[in-house]
Structures are given as structure tokens and as C-alpha cells.
Structure 1
């Protein structure tokens, strides 16, 4: 059976709930592939920025929307809402905040936003460039307000979306709510997964972010099977980074979803494009 290595963390279950099947592993299994997830990145929320977001949320909203394109960015919002509830602070402006749209790019982040009581927009755009166009379009329809957007991002965030907003003269305030670094045991987990097991090497490796490409490449190159694997990318930004490093991208998912990714892999194999 062909094996896929997803360079990402498995889906985590909520405390006290039954284990949640990982959507990528499930999609791979349904298509006849075995798979495993190994996270490249280790990211942590920044307490000082969470405190600032707490303060912002406890006041009447002075922004026209929230932008959170990553899962960690959405988790920061979720964390702050949970902290407000746990402190039993009266959130007098909750209804006003819940009328503020939250822009994101994928279905998994949209689900978390919905659970928080907000309305997600842009989950079908699939990428930052298209999301920027949606935000610009929506902003132009509301020319009466000059309030900024709040952008919840990490220290490794890409320039694509912010630069488009800047060029369109749309104000926004960045909050770097999480910091990302390499998983310190990535190579150990990699070796443990493929040495002394029935699966000696993956047929596919799928990258999920440009920073993930940068952090994982050297440990991957040290594996004896590296030259034999096929490479997949979750979207155009990750694909572009791989190509900058002179790596052949065998498959680029048309949308950042598990089903679209696995279907793209199946199509590539079926049509002998590899």
C-alpha cells in the first residue's frame, strides 16, 4: 500500500471528548493509502498578545472585521473568549462582537470560528490572495467606515494578504498572537516512523507551509529514501517555496482540504503525470 507522510500535526480532540479522526488520514485511508502525520512546526501562543486581545474584546468593537487565516490565529481568538468566560467577567459587548465578520481561508478554521459564535467569511477562497480580494470587495461596499481590521497572525506570516490590503489603502492592525519554530524532535520521529517497521519509506510527502518547507528540508535530505519520494503541496504559496528551492512539486492541491489533496494525488497517479 502506498504511504503518505503529512508534515502536520494530527487533529487534536477537545478535552473530555472522544478522539477525533484526523481528516487527512481519513481521506487517505478512504482512497486506499496508509498515512502518518509528523509535525514539522511547534507554535506557541504569545501571552502578552493574548492579554491585548482580551482587552480589545472587552471593549466595544472599533474594527470592521477580524482576519485569521491560520488555525493558530483562530485558536487565539477561541482562547481569549474562553478566558473571558472562565473569569466570569461580564462581556457586555459580546453581541456587538458577534456581529463582526471573521475572515478565514479554510473549512477547518471556519468551523472553530462558528463554534465561537462568529460568522466566518471566505472559507471557500482557499488562499490568501483570493481572501484579500474578498476583503477589499466587502470593504469597498462599506465606504462609510474607516475602522481598521484586526489581523491575528504569527511571526512567520506571509506578506501577500497584508500587502494587498495596504495597496488598497485598507487599514488593519496586526496582532502577532503566536510564534513558530521547528519541532525539536522532528528528525527523531521521522527515523522512528520508517526504521524497523513494515513501511520502510513514504511514497508521498505533503508540505503544508513555506516555513515547514524551510524547517524540514535538511532532515528530510538526510533520509536514504528522500530522492525516491513524490512531493505534494497544500497550496500555491507552499508550492512556490518548494520551487524556489529547485524541488519538483508533483501535486498541488486546488483547495486546502484533505479531500481535494487526496483527489489531486489520485488524479496524478491515474493520469500518469508523474
Structure 2
């Protein structure tokens, strides 16, 4: 943010790691400030509940909406792997394909809430990130592909 926003009279606070706990420490040092919290229409309440617990003045601003991309009736669905980054992706899949059968399609995800949504939908989770071995989806995919390669050979 600081590279693209001219500060003038505004103060921009950010954490070092990008995690809510880190941001909470910075916000805790400036309790009298008023905060604008940009969120999606579907968001976790962890930061909001933290601000309310510390009695911090804030305004929640919905800056973007999560919208599912509808498939046309004639579109082919021939994927080897589907990777989801939010529970709304699972909802979109089931909305677009109510009779979806996983069969040989591999499913991967990023984040514990997305993993829970996959399991709750009765689907098989083949690849998950972040984990201690795979902190990113790229690392998880690399580990998964190496594992598949070793099982074949």
C-alpha cells in the first residue's frame, strides 16, 4: 500500500507477516485512531471480533463481492484437478454441477476453512496447503506431483 498511496493526512498501518494477530499488535498501539477495514462480502470475523474486544473504532467497508462464474450447458468439464481458495468456490461448483461426481478428478485447496467445506460436501481432498511442508499452493502441488510420480515409477 505504501508504494501506491500518497499519505498526506492518512495513516496506513500494516503488519509484517500479513496475519491478523500481527495486525492486531499494530492496531493495539494506536487505539484512538479510526480504522477502515476493507472486506469481501464473504469474510471471516476474526479481525472484527478482535477490534470489538479491544473497543477500537472501525468502519467495515465491503470492497468486493465474490461471484460464482456460471458454466454454460455446452461447456466441457474435463479437468484433471480443481484447486479451491475459498469455501465459496465449493458452493459454486455444486451450484453449477448439482450432480457432480469426483471420480478421478483431484481436488486441492488453500486454507483450513476451504478444506472443511470440501469434506463437508462429501468430496475427497487430495492436496492441501498450507502445511508445514507446503506453505504455499505451489509447494503443495510440487509435493503432490512428486508423490504421484514416485507411485507410478
State if a TM-score over 0.5 links the two structures.
yes
Q: Contact conserved, 1:233 with 1:239, CA < 8 A, in 2?
A: yes
The 2-side partners of 1:158 and 1:204 are apart by 27
Q: CA deviation at 1:221?
A: 5.0
Structure 2 length as normaliser, TM-score?
0.72
The match for 1:164 among 43, 50, 64 is: 50
The match for 1:133 among 21, 27, 50 is: 21
Q: Secondary structure at the match of 2:90?
A: helix
Matched, 1:188 2:46: no
Matched, 1:95 2:8: yes
Q: Secondary structure at the match of 1:181?
A: coil
Q: CA deviation at 1:266?
A: 2.3
Q: Contact conserved, 1:251 with 1:268, CA < 8 A, in 2?
A: yes
- For structure 2, the 5+ residue unaligned runs are none
Do the aligned partners of residues 218 and 94 (structure 1) sit closer, same or farther apart at CA in structure 2, a change above 3 Å counting? closer
Do the aligned partners of residues 150 and 139 (structure 1) sit closer, same or farther apart at CA in structure 2, a change above 3 Å counting? same
The match for 2:115 among 239, 242, 245 is: 239
Higher helix share: 1
The 1-side partners of 2:110 and 2:44 are apart by 15
Q: CA deviation at 1:193?
A: 4.5
Structure 1 length as normaliser, TM-score?
0.44
- For structure 1, the 5+ residue unaligned runs are 1-65, 67-77, 82-92, 104-120, 126-130, 195-200
Q: CA deviation at 1:149?
A: 1.7
The 1-side partners of 2:122 and 2:9 are apart by 49
Q: In the alignment, what sits opposite 1:269?
A: 145
Q: Contact conserved, 1:232 with 1:252, CA < 8 A, in 2?
A: yes
Matched, 1:250 2:126: yes
Matched, 1:202 2:88: no
Q: In the alignment, what sits opposite 1:4?
A: none
The 2-side partners of 1:165 and 1:247 are apart by 36
Q: CA deviation at 1:245?
A: 2.4
Structure with the bigger RCO (C-alpha within 8 Å, sep 6+) is 1
